[in-house]
Amino acid sequence: MTRSPVKVLYIDDEENNLLAFKASFRRQYEIYTAISAAEGLKVLENLSVEVIIADQKMPETTGVEFFKSIATTYPDPIRILLTGYTDIAALADAINHGDIYRYITKPWNDLELHNSIKNAHDAYRSKIDLRNKVKELEKTNDELNRFIYSISHELRAPLVSVIGIVNLVKMEGLYNSSGEYWELIEACSNKLDYYIQKTLQYYKNNKNISENSAIDFKKLVDQMIDLYAYSDRDTQFNLNINQTHPFMGDSFRIEVILGNLISNAVKYQKESGHHKVVDISIEANLLSAEISITDNGLGILNEHLEKIFTQFFKAKNNKGSGLGLFIVKEALNKIDGTIAVSSSLNHGTTFKITIPNAK
């Protein structure tokens, strides 16, 4: 691969040094020289150089002062400072304020300076490459997010129409008219809707925006129970919610966390005939909210406990999507919360969560 030669700007008030520099390096680099900081600035205004070498001791503006002055306007070029004597104060200043890559004493050694320029150029390239990569990734990420979002919407609208038609079939008393076919269509549609909603939750959680608002845990839990237990009226909920202080938190993520856990507690139950109980206790104070959700359902195999928070993990005969707990974990990560689980097979599962109060 051929690359255009590295552009180097050399600023020195001594004409002889400029000439010597040109003579030594003109074959390797594209060289621009300037007799003062002001002249150097003119060069920078007209073209982008990759490496700047400046002499420290110049009248009017010193090398370090020059580097300081271009710190925000030209942050990219790599800076090398040249100086005739080892001036500790200048050196400290240069390192602390001038963003200097190398410090070289005069008279310079051609090989040393050459190596420094080469290294400086490598540093420049990796800086620019990294920035481009980050930009590229941000763009791809953004597009992906938008894609998931619009797909979820476009997919959901017609699906919701299908569920609407099934409702009509029920209203017109035709639900049992074709064996169990309508029931199957309804089950499949609900399942698909569930997946789409989980995908949307995941997408929304991935966005970094976090908005804190006041959380009333009693109200929130009631809403979540309403929303997720409507299909299962015979579950008994024992609530013990004690909120002593106002609690600020990311309401969307806390809703996602509680919603998924409550829906799981209702869903992973033993076959009918069993008295289903879900205990929810919340202690919310100035520092945090400690939430515990316990069911008396199927329980989780010991060897599965570590895997339940990974994406798409499903136990055999499990009716879930393998996304719920994964999303819970991701949402907790975003708000600095933690989760612990304990379970006893056939007796039930307890999830304990801690969410810091963002007040």
Provide the binding-site residues for another protein, judged by CB under 8 A.
Answer: 149, 152-153, 156-158, 160-161, 163-165, 167-168, 171-172, 197, 200, 204, 252
Strands 100-105 and 236-243: unpaired
Contacts of residue 256, defined as CB under 8 A and 6 or more positions apart, other chains included, come to 201, 205, 327, 328, 331
Q: Measured from the CB of residue 339, what is the shortest distance to another protein in angstroms?
A: 24
Instruction: Kindly state the smallest distance separating residue 171's Cβ from another protein, in Å.
Output: 5
CB 99, min distance to another protein, A: 41
Given the structure tokens 């990569």, which residue do they identify? 133
Instruction: Tell me whether residue 213 or residue 236 sits nearer to another protein (CB atom).
Output: 213
Nearest approach, Cβ of residue 161 and another protein (Å): 5
Q: Is 317 left (phi over 0), alpha (psi -120 to 50) or beta?
A: left
- Burial environment of residue 271 by CB neighbours within 10 A (0 to 12, 13 to 18, 19 or more): exposed
Determine whether 315 is exposed, middle or buried from the number of CB atoms within 10 Å of its CB (0-12, 13-18, 19+): middle
Q: Which is nearer to another protein, 65 or 193 (CB)?
A: 193
The three-class DSSP label of residue 318 is: coil
What Rg do the C-alpha atoms of the chain give, in angstroms?
33
Show the tokens assigned to 67: 């580097």
State which residue, 22 or 156, has the beta carbon closest to another protein: 156
Our CB check for another protein shows the closer of 1 and 157 to be 157
Burial of 74 (0-12, 13-18, 19+ CB in 10 A): middle
Is residue 211 a contact partner of residue 254, using CB atoms and an 8 Å limit? no
Residue type, position 165, single letter: I
Minimum Å gap between C-beta 243 and another protein is 24
Q: How far is the CB of 122 from another protein (least distance, A)?
A: 45
Q: In terms of CB distance, is 188 or 287 closer to another protein? A: 188
Task: Give 278's strand partners.
Answer: 237, 295
Rank residues 192 and 200 by Cβ distance to another protein and give the closer one: 200
Nearest distance, CB of residue 160 and another protein, angstroms: 4
Query: 150 vs 242, which CB is nearer to another protein?
Result: 150
List the beta bridge partners of residue 10. Answer: 33, 53
Cα–Cα–Cα angle for 175, 181, 183, rounded to 5 degrees: 60
Which residue, 49 or 166, is less far from another protein as judged by CB?
Answer: 166
Residue 290 CB, nearest approach to another protein (Å): 27
